Structure 1
Amino acid sequence: MDSGNIWNIVMNKILTIFTPTYNRASLLKRVFTSLQKQTYKNFEWIIVDDGSTDNTEEVVKSFIEYTQDFSINYFKQKNGGKHRAINFGVKKAKGDFFLILDSDDYLKEEAIEVLNPLLDQSRLNANLAGVAVRRAYSDGNIVGNIFDKSILANSVSIRYQHKIIGDLVEIFKTEILKKYKFPEIENEKFCPEALVWNRIAQYYNLQFYNLGLYITEYLPGGLTQKIIKIRMQSPIASMLHYVELVSYKIPIKEKVKATINFWRFSFNDSSSSILDNLKKLPNLFYGAFLPLGLLMYFNDKRSQ
């Protein structure tokens, strides 16, 4: 193969695998090993270090020196949260598609080979934002409930109409993620991914496949384990997520749940008053759920 063809392959990777990490140097080798073992290697790996104080940089340098099978690009930012890391990673991505692979998870050996034709199909459909597959535990069992065939839906309807539960693995077209950036709120280090995924859902569908290609482990110290405290520390982004959810086409009981959570986290935000927050909701009816939100706020405070 001549050098020109090799260069074209390098410059036209179909997939960016993105790993945000914070003090997880000990886990990154497993991620790296799973990428090394991929049966199809048309990808780049971008790692954004969110201000780690361990030896993450040295560990990643050893990966870069060890392999020539795929490119590895490492960046370090001031600690600002996963959402800021995603925004930066999307900006640097060269792939047509963007897959977020957390530092405590890994991919099955055949994952990218299986994904490749699915991404190709998605590429040809301008109405699709990408594809989504399933997370699985290390024993192979799917996280959440399963479905028999692929589903054409969006990130809102897959939850509230098709009733699919469990964390999903969305692989978005990079060009779409560049249009839908995460809001970066001063002094907050968390923004729900669902906030952006739901915004994309207002204009684009995803093709969902019941394929457990992504192995997940909910380890101590991760976002999932301490999500309530994290939301309390980033109330504005949390409230934004819930108030937008209320405006979407979801069942009324889900709107009520979202409203209660909106009020629940609003009491952690000292920058706005109850009246200010009431004005953010679609109508005065939703103010009736303030007392329930206040009770949950007090319960959260006791639990921390």
Structure 2
Amino acid sequence: MESNNPLVSVIIPSYNREALIAETLQSVLSQTYPNWECIIVDDGSTDNTKGVVQQFIKKDKRFKLFDRHREPKGAPTCRNIGATKSKGEYLIFFDSDDIMLSDMIKIRANCIDANSKFDLWISAVGVLKQNDTSPRVQKKTLPISDKITLEEFMLPCPRTPKWNTPAVIWRKASFLKLLWNESIPIWQDIDLHIRAIDQSFKVYSTQYLDCLIRIDNNDTNRISNHRYSFTKLEAKRNIALALTEVLNKENIPWMKKILALEIFQGIEDSIVTGQMKKHTLTNYIRLFENILPSNTLFNLVQGYFFVLNVLRQTNLPYVKGILIRLQHDALINKILK
């Protein structure tokens, strides 16, 4: 490492966060580590988000605000813009509702100082869950390691990997070899981290809990909360296709099974809720040609979805429910066999 006190760039995309972003920026301002800059890239907010950010810029010139100046819209584009604007040797990508504990950057800088031969360093994070009473903090831990495999990262399920966006501090030079994928609306961090592992980036993980992420199921700005949306299904489909080459190279059959199960359940949910059109269903079924282990199973899945689409329109809910349940369970067992 070039310096024991390196400049760390915190990059935050923002969109209509006037009610939450002040708490996030205050947690940055309260850091005990002094050598940081915080770059906020606004994604076209229509509320007073930018006004709130400007108040922090008046307090401390280490805060900087930029507008997203190019397409496509979305957090990945904003993060890539922030990375190119940054001057730090290391990067932390934070969301506009996340919270840093006061020693977060100091802890991560110390970790880099003691373990400098890596491309990214991982910390544990807490989860703030919104409910009817008060938020709960849930610790998310990792084994201490100097080597993380793709299998370790993805277990137990692709949608809940071992770490997420704010848990990471990147060596900027390493990150710029990857960049965020601007074409996918969800799971961008999973995509990024899988590419890093696949390209043999050196990953160091610790058990330090140094930040909190907020889970708010009432936040309509989060695509990930729209369980049955075509946008989410399309993102899953695209990510699964992009992972096919990696999965085949790594020869990890269980991972393909889990991905197949994710797509299966997403399509099934969309049919049951009446949001899947026939021509779209045909396109999604084709995804399984790249994941399912046999043509026989592919034909069974295809037949099940077409029958399910017909049954959805019948007036025999009890019979329909029994048929769906029996076929559902049988196919799940075959996919995971």
Quickly name the TM-score band, shorter chain normalised: 0.7 to 0.9
Residue 97 of structure 1 is aligned with which of 80, 83, 90?
90
After TM superposition, give the deviation of residue 209 of structure 1 in Å: 0.7
Change (3 A) 1:82 1:288: farther
Partner-residue secondary structure (3-state), 2:77: helix
Q: Could you give the per-residue CA deviations for residues 176-211 of structure 1, whole angstroms, max 9, x where no partner exists?
A: 2222133333xx644532112101111213111111
Alpha-carbon separation, structure 2, partners of 1:250 and 1:142? 33
Alpha-carbon separation, structure 1, partners of 2:45 and 2:155? 40
Normalization by structure 1: what TM-score? 0.75
What residue is the counterpart of 1:72 in the other structure? Answer: 64
What residue is the counterpart of 2:54 in the other structure? Answer: 61
Residue 210 of structure 2 is aligned with which of 213, 217, 221?
213
Letter in 2 for 1:134: A
Alpha-carbon separation, structure 2, partners of 1:130 and 1:240? 25
What residue is the counterpart of 1:182 in the other structure? Answer: 180
After TM superposition, give the deviation of residue 292 of structure 1 in Å: 9.4
Bigger mean CA offset, 42-51 vs 243-252: 243-252
What residue is the counterpart of 1:40 in the other structure? Answer: 33
What residue is the counterpart of 2:124 in the other structure? Answer: 134
What residue is the counterpart of 1:252 in the other structure? Answer: 253
Q: Answer yes or no: is 1:156 the counterpart of 2:167.
A: no
Alpha-carbon separation, structure 1, partners of 2:88 and 2:304? 42
Partner-residue secondary structure (3-state), 1:102: coil
Which runs of 5 or more structure 1 residues have no equivalent in the other structure?
1-8
After TM superposition, give the deviation of residue 240 of structure 1 in Å: 2.8
After TM superposition, give the deviation of residue 30 of structure 1 in Å: 0.7
Alpha-carbon separation, structure 1, partners of 2:86 and 2:304? 40
Alpha-carbon separation, structure 2, partners of 1:167 and 1:294? 33
Percent identical pairs in the alignment equals 16
What residue is the counterpart of 2:139 in the other structure? Answer: 143
After TM superposition, give the deviation of residue 276 of structure 1 in Å: 6.0
Compute the RMSD of aligned alpha carbons: 3.8
Which runs of 5 or more structure 2 residues have no equivalent in the other structure?
129-134, 268-275, 314-337
Change (3 A) 1:102 1:235: same
What residue is the counterpart of 1:226 in the other structure? Answer: 225
Question: What is the count of residue pairs matched by the alignment?
Answer: 280
Q: Answer yes or no: is 1:30 the counterpart of 2:26.
A: no
Letter in 1 for 2:298: G
Q: Could you give the per-residue CA deviations for residues 208-227 of structure 1, whole angstroms, max 9, x where no partner exists?
A: 11111011221231638605
Letter in 1 for 2:146: L
Residue 169 of structure 2 is aligned with which of 168, 171, 177?
171
Normalization by structure 2: what TM-score? 0.68
Q: Answer yes or no: is 1:20 the counterpart of 2:31.
A: no
Alpha-carbon separation, structure 1, partners of 2:36 and 2:148? 25
Letter in 2 for 1:213: D
Determine if contact 1:81/1:190 at 8 Å carries over to the other structure: no
What residue is the counterpart of 1:287 in the other structure? Answer: 298
Alpha-carbon separation, structure 2, partners of 1:157 and 1:50? 34
Structure ID, larger Rg:
2
